[in-house]
Amino acid sequence: MRTPLEPTITTLPATPQTAAAARDYARHTIARYAPAMPADRIHDLCLVVSELVSNAIRYGTEPGDRIGLGLVVRAAHTRVEVHDPVRRRPRPERSRANGPGGAACWP
């Protein structure tokens, strides 16, 4: 099956349950456009989708907002796009070694 050059796009509500819905959307899109994708790659892709969507909701939305999720799935690579209605410019924060979130990477 030929995959589209443009991403398949969906919009989702900015709620705590959205990460699971985004993973389901990713699995469905993979099944449609790359059914032979290895299970470990699907798992990794769903993890990336979940993290990006969670961060978009946490840092870029307010109650009632929606986010966009776009995927281009190919045999050799997959592109993930997450769009939020952020109303402020991003700024780096100092990491806390024992704080919530991912690994400390800011000095």
pLDDT tens per residue, range 67-101: 999 999 987 889 999 999 877 776 777 766 666 55
Q: Using alpha carbons only, give the angle 42, 19, 28 rounded to the nearest 5 degrees.
A: 40
Rounded CA separation 30/35 (Å): 6
Comparing 32 with 106, which gets the higher pLDDT?
32
Q: What is the pTM of this model?
A: 0.78
Domains defined for the chain, CATH in brackets: 8-83 (3.30.565.10)
In sequence order, what are the residues at sequence separation of 6 or more whose Cβ sits closer than 8 angstroms to the Cβ of residue 71? 7, 8, 25, 26, 29, 49, 78, 79, 80, 81
Give the mean pLDDT of 43-57: 95
pLDDT confidence of residue 18: 95
The C-alpha angle with vertex 23 and arms to 2 and 68, in degrees rounded to 5, equals 80
More confident site: 100 or 26: 26
